[in-house]
Amino acid sequence: MLETYIQNMMQDLSVSRAVSSFRVLRTEVGDEDGYVSIKCKLSNGDVLEFAQYVIIRNRKINVETYSFHWQTADGKLKKRWDNVPHHKDVDTFPNHLHLPDNVVGSSPMSLKKILVDIEKTLPPNDKDTGA
């Protein structure tokens, strides 16, 4: 079950027009939990690095912790979504979004949601225009 979850993440990265390449930094898969960390080079030169710790509860994958860090090629933060419980003042605690100048609330995030957000910032390509 966890192997399939991780394979699906890699498939999402492989088909996303936002991702030009990615490297798995670490995976750990147990009977009841797992961890994955991946670094992606984006098609515009930016970098997305993320990690998730998941557990199986009632035969379902549950994301316990996550961090998605998106930065420019020269290392400037664009956005970082995570659920580390350190911003208790945010109305969506523990989920939040770090922006370059502040921290705001965020719904729980997934790789698919992040890729959609990144793809919205990219110029259209031939696939988008039907050419």
CATH of the domain at 113: 3.10.450.630
Residue 33 neighbours by CB under 8 Å, 6+ apart = 2, 53, 54, 55, 56, 64
CB 19 within 8 A of CB 10: no
CA distance 8 to 5: 5
* Residue 104 Cα distances to 17, 60, 66, angstroms: 27, 29, 16
Q: Which structural domain range is residue 32 located in?
A: 2-124
131: confidence class by pLDDT, cuts 50, 70, 90: very low
Q: Which residue has the tokens 């498939």?
A: 11
- 45 in any annotated domain: yes
pLDDT in tens, 74-128: 999 999 999 999 999 999 999 999 999 999 999 999 999 999 999 999 877 644 5
- 129 in any annotated domain: no
Average pLDDT of the chain to the nearest whole number: 92
- 131 in any annotated domain: no
- 16 in any annotated domain: yes
pTM for this one?
Answer: 0.89
- 114 in any annotated domain: yes
Domain count, the chain: 1
